Amino acid sequence: MQAIGDTPKAMAYAPPARHLLRAKDLADARYADKLDVDDMAKAAGLSKAHFSREFKAAFGESPHVYLLTRRLERAAALLRTTDRSIADICFSVGLQSLGSFTTSFTRMFEQSPAAYRASFPPAVSQVVVPSCVVRAYGRPQHRPAGRGD
Amino acid sequence: MKIATTQVWVNDQDEALAFYTEKLEMEVRSDVTMPEMGNFRWLTVSPKGQEDVAIVLMAVPGAPVMDDETAQQVRALTAKGFAGTVFLTTEDVRADYEAMKARGVEFVDELEERPYGIDCGFRDPSGNHFRLTQLTAF
């Protein structure tokens, strides 16, 4: 698979922001991986310190904050739409520490991951299961009458 | 009323032309340069089989059409990915995705199943955002 961070060959001159956008796209596409600001800087072809300044000037937020809030947004979506455990969700959006996840999530969403999840209808109630599946898996096990009573 | 032509800003028309025709496999609908209009180049493309709608691959003009500051802002907005989005539909998004990926298109969103269909997102070399969706039949 071609990484988004790869700079296409023989490109025409692009405004500097185009390289910053490539780093932003990398965060959006690969947030689930062990991605950090160093990787984003590499995708933009800049040193880390220079990249962080340029990114903030272009998009109004530091790359660190952008990546973190992308991960929290994806985690919030998983809290609403899946019944996976909070720890599982934390690691699956690329965060390494459950403690910092809970702290950052609570700061940004003004409630804990568990409270956030509880404020939405349960994920299972939102799932559209095809009628053939409902019919196949909902049929009860046959229990013959009048035997062993 | 019908939509006939819409427009994206491109950083370089030759680069855009190569991308839209070779990587997206669109067809050129018009490519005309007008010397009496400061060599303005009207360059349009659209998908094969859809000849009544086209996208103009428009170069960011200089003065007197656009002052330098505005032109710079348009270039920066496009490069930052905020100049707009084109929404495309297809009959077979998985096949198109694989083919475009193999041709080196920069995907920003991998294939994802959504309630309305299956879609993915990519950018052109200038930073314009495209979504490609195979809509669910309801």
Q: Name the residue ranges covered by the structural domains of chain B.
A: 5-135
Q: Check whether A10 has a pLDDT greater than 70.
A: no
Q: Which pLDDT does position A81 carry in this prediction?
A: 87
Q: Which pLDDT does position B115 carry in this prediction?
A: 85
| B99-119 tens-digit pLDDT | 999 999 989 999 999 888 999
Q: Which pLDDT does position A147 carry in this prediction?
A: 67
Q: Which pLDDT does position B36 carry in this prediction?
A: 83
Judge whether A3 lies within some domain: no
Q: What's the CATH number where A118 sits?
A: 1.10.10.60
Verify whether the Cβ–Cβ distance A18 to B126 is below 8 Å. yes
Average pLDDT over residues A53-60: 96
Average pLDDT, chain A: 89
Judge whether A5 lies within some domain: no
Cα separation of B135 and B110, whole Å?
16
Angle between helix A16-30 and helix A63-81 axes, rounded to 10 deg: 30
Judge whether A144 lies within some domain: no
Judge whether A27 lies within some domain: yes
Range of the domain at A23: 16-138
Q: Give chain A positions within 8 Å (CB) of B113.
A: none
Q: Check whether A149 has a pLDDT greater than 90.
A: no
Interface contact B126, partner A, CB < 8 A: yes
Q: Check whether A1 has a pLDDT greater than 70.
A: no
Judge whether A2 lies within some domain: no
Q: What percent of chain A has pLDDT over 70?
A: 91
Q: What is the DSSP letter of B129?
A: E
Q: What is the rounded end-to-end Cα distance, in angstroms, of chain B?
A: 26
Interface contact A148, partner B, CB < 8 A: no
| Phi, psi for B54 (deg, rounded to 5) | -140, 160
Interface contact B79, partner A, CB < 8 A: yes
Q: Check whether A111 has a pLDDT greater than 50.
A: yes
Interface contact B113, partner A, CB < 8 A: no
Judge whether A7 lies within some domain: no
Interface contact B99, partner A, CB < 8 A: no
Average pLDDT over residues A94-115: 97
Q: Which residues in chain B (7-36) have CB-CB distances under 8 A to chain A?
A: 11-12, 14-15
Judge whether A10 lies within some domain: no
Binned at pLDDT 50, 70 and 90, residue B12 comes out as very high
Angle at B92 between CA B90 and CA B98, to 5 degrees: 105
Domain covering B5-135 in this structure, CATH number: 3.10.180.10
pTM for the model:
0.76
Q: Which pLDDT does position B64 carry in this prediction?
A: 85
Q: Give chain A positions within 8 Å (CB) of B101.
A: 1-2
Number of independent structural domains in chain A: 1
Cα separation of B23 and B102, whole Å?
9
Judge whether A34 lies within some domain: yes
Alpha-carbon distances of B136 from A82, A125, B25, B90, rounded to whole Å: 22, 21, 24, 11
Q: Check whether A37 has a pLDDT greater than 50.
A: yes
Q: Check whether A9 has a pLDDT greater than 80.
A: no
Q: Check whether A3 has a pLDDT greater than 70.
A: no
- The greatest distance separating any two alpha carbons of chain B, rounded to the nearest whole angstrom, comes to 51
